[in-house]
């Protein structure tokens, strides 16, 4: 579905969490897209990140292409959720902004009807 909305895939994973998480949620048609912050031990600081939370308590981490227990990952990487999007909301945001994210409050008001 992600290719149908005009957003091409890139093979590189590192640094493309927004793109990969969006492709995952649109392809699976389930879960919740999360935009937030995580602590990067590699960089020694907090960075922006995107991931997908499943209804079963797991997180799809897009750069590693693996699933982890939500409680484990939130604790280990000091994850902080900033925004969450349903499949439909993520599709609307991607179509409306023609970007993978992150999306601003102004963009959310424009493309998400709550």
Tokens for 46, please give them.
């907090």
Give yes or no for a contact between 18 and 101, defined as CB atoms under 8 angstroms apart.
Answer: yes
pLDDT, averaged across the chain: 89
Bigger pLDDT: 9 vs 15? 15
Give me the pLDDT at residue 2, please.
42
Give me the pLDDT at residue 3, please.
45
Give me the pLDDT at residue 4, please.
40
Share of the chain above pLDDT 70, in %: 89
Question: Average pLDDT for residues 97-113, to the nearest whole number?
Answer: 94
C-alpha distance across the termini of the chain, in Å = 23
Question: What residues contact 38, with CB distance under 8 A and at least 6 apart?
Answer: 46, 47, 49, 77, 78, 79, 80
State which H helix or E strand residue 80 sits in.
strand 80-85
Q: Is 84 helix (H, G, I), strand (E, B) or coil?
A: strand
Question: Average pLDDT for residues 86-111, to the nearest whole number?
Answer: 96
User: pLDDT tens, 3-14?
Assistant: 444 555 555 777
The DSSP code sequence of 11-72 is S--TT-HHHHHHHHHHHHT-SEEEEEEEEETTTTEEEEEEEEE-TTSEEEETTTTEEEEHHH
What does pTM read for this prediction?
Answer: 0.86
């Amino acid at each position: 579905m992600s290719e149908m909305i005009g957003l091409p895939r890139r093979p590189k994973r590192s640094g493309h969490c927004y793109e990969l998480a969006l492709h995952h949620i649109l392809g699976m048609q389930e879960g919740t897209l999360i935009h937030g912050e995580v602590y990067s031990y590699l960089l020694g600081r907090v960075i922006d990140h995107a991931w997908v939370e499943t209804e079963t308590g797991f997180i799809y981490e897009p750069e590693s292409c693996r699933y982890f227990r939500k409680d484990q990952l939130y604790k280990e990487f000091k994850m902080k959720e900033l925004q969450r999007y349903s499949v439909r909301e993520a599709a609307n945001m991607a179509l409306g902004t023609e970007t993978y994210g992150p999306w601003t409050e102004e963009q959310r008001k424009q493309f998400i009807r709550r």
